[in-house]
Amino acid sequence: MMSGTLVLVRHGQSEWNLKNWFTGWKDPDLSEQGVKEAHAAGRRLKAKGYVFDVCFTSVLTRAQHTLKIMLEELGQTGLPETRDQALNERDYGELTGLNKDDARKKWGEEQVLIWRRSYDVPPPGGESLKDTLARALPYYMIHIQPLVLSGKRVLVSAHGNSLRALIMAIEGLTPEQILKRELETGVPVCYKIGADSRPLSVEILSA
């Protein structure tokens, strides 16, 4: 076991983020702003000297597009890339495709807040954060963590809630702590991971 590098990046702003819609497993692409955020993320990683061995992403276009742009900026296209729905965003069920203000009008502000900010209360037909963790966390432990612990440099482009699962595992956070963690679009979170799987350091490459 040796230390490795793990960089997590939430995709750039999507067309549905821009419209304030619940997105979940729907597949809009990046907005113009999201494309800019992905380019900026790649440039910041390059400026810090990051080089990667392998990358992971979800099966959704916005995460894949963000990864493609970052790798182009890094001059590292052609890296081994794994796509898996375990890294997809949380499924918002009946909320999917609704403007968040319209959802509040339909179900009430308090109920929508519970669905968005509780750990284990899913929206109708969708997933809670706990459900998202239940698929994303095992995937991380089986497929990503062993590479990092072998000394590999790993880049993951995914989504706000699936990345919370990884951060929860890496930093040993409680459900209450992870609910408070906000991840900005297109901002790399860079870890050096020790042999005990805990972070030796973390650096957030904000604009």
- What are the two backbone dihedrals, phi and then psi, of residue 162, each rounded to the nearest 5 degrees? -70, -35
Question: Which residues, including other chains, have CB under 8 Å from residue 127's CB and lie 6 or more apart?
Answer: 90, 91, 92, 93
Pairing mode of beta strands 54-57, 81-83 = parallel
Q: Is 89 an active-site residue?
A: yes
Distances (CA, A) of 198 to 38, 44, 70, 140, 160: 27, 24, 26, 14, 21
Q: Is 94 an active-site residue?
A: no
Confidence of residue 3 (pLDDT cuts 50, 70, 90): confident
Alpha carbons 192 and 202: distance in angstroms, whole number: 7
pLDDT at residue 105 in the model: 95
- Please write the tens of the pLDDT for every residue from 130-182: 999 999 999 999 999 999 999 999 999 999 999 998 999 899 999 999 988 88
Residue 2 predicted with pLDDT over 80: no
Structural domains in the chain, sorted by start: 4-204 (3.40.50.1240)
Catalytic residue among 11, 37, 65, 73: 11
Q: In what side-by-side order are the strands of the sheet with 4-10?
A: 81-83, 54-57, 153-158, 4-10, 188-193, 199-204
Total residue length of the chain: 207
- Please write the tens of the pLDDT for every residue from 42-88: 999 999 999 999 999 999 999 999 999 999 999 999 999 999 999 99
Catalytic residue among 37, 73, 89, 127: 89
pLDDT at residue 1 in the model: 53
Alpha carbons 111 and 67: distance in angstroms, whole number: 34
Question: Which residues, including other chains, have CB under 8 Å from residue 81's CB and lie 6 or more apart?
Answer: 54, 55, 56, 57, 67
* 46 and 74 Cβ atoms separated by less than 8 Å: yes
Confidence of residue 207 (pLDDT cuts 50, 70, 90): confident
Percent of the chain with pLDDT over 70: 99
Alpha carbons 189 and 202: distance in angstroms, whole number: 7
Which of 3, 41, 17 minimizes the C-alpha distance to 157? 41
